[in-house]
Amino acid sequence: MASIRLAVPDAANVGEVIEIKALIRHPMESGHRRGARGEVIERDIITRFECRYLDELVFAADFHPGIAANPLLTFYVRASNSGTLDFTWTDQHGTAWSETSALTVT
C-alpha cells in the first residue's frame, strides 16, 4: 500500500508562488544492494513524478537509484486560477499512485 503525504495550501492569491511538499512511501530499491545471501536485490524504483496544475504539467522529476527511499520533494507552483493540482508517481513497472488537491485562488 502506498502511503502519500502532501502539504499543499488550499488557498492563495493570484500570482503567489506556493510551496508544495510531497512524500511517498517507497523503498527505492537501488539494484546495488545485496541480500543476506549475497544476491543482488533487483532494482525497484519510482522513476517519475509529475505535478499538473489546471491540467498543465508545471513540475516533474525523473528519479534514479540515487534518490533516497521514501522520496520527499519540495517544489513551487505559481497560483493563477482556482482549480486542481494533480500529483502522480509512476514506478519502473508503470504502476502509478495519484493524489489531487483543490486550490482556491483569489
Partner 1 sequence: MKRFAGATLIALIPACSAPPAAENATEIAAEDIVSGSIFLTAETRDLQEDNFANPGYLWVDRGEALFSKAPASGEACITCHEAGLSGVAATYPAYDEKAGRVLNLEGRINQCRVTHQSEPAWEYESEELLSVTAFVANQSLGAPVSVDVSGPAQDIYEAGRDYFQTRRGQFNLSCQQCHTENWGKRLRGDTLSQGHGNGFPAYRLEWESLGSLHRRLRDCDLGVRAEPLPYGDPLYVAVELFLAARSNGLEMESPAVRR
Partner 2 sequence: MTHNTRLDLNRRDLLALGTGTVLIAASPLSSHAEQADLDQARRELFGMRPVTEGRVTIKLPPIAENGYSVPLSVEVDSPMTKEDFVKRVAILSPRNPLPLISQFYFSPGSGRAKVDARIRMSGTQSIQAIAEMNDGSLWSGSRETVVTLAACVVL
Site residues (CB under 8 A) for partner 1?
A: 1, 3, 5, 7, 21, 23, 25, 27-28, 68-70, 72
Residue with cell 539494484: 31
Can you give the C-alpha Rg of the chain in angstroms?
16
Residue 39 in contact with partner 2, rule: CB under 8 A? no
Whether the CB-CB separation of 78 and 17 falls below 8 Å is answered with yes
Residue pair 89/70 in contact (Cβ under 8 Å)? The answer is: no
Q: How far is the CB of 27 from partner 1 (least distance, A)?
A: 7
- Distance, in Å, from the CA atom of 68 to the CA atom of 30, rounded to the nearest integer, reads 9
78 binds, among partner 2, partner 1, none (CB under 5 to 8 A by kind): partner 2
Between residues 27 and 31, which has the closer beta carbon with respect to partner 1? 27
31 binds partner 2 (CB under 8 A): yes
Beta strand 96-105 pairing with 83-91: antiparallel
Task: Give the range of 1-9, 72-80, 96-104 binding partner 2 by CB under 8 A.
Answer: 72-80
Binding status of residue 90 toward partner 2 by CB under 8 A: no
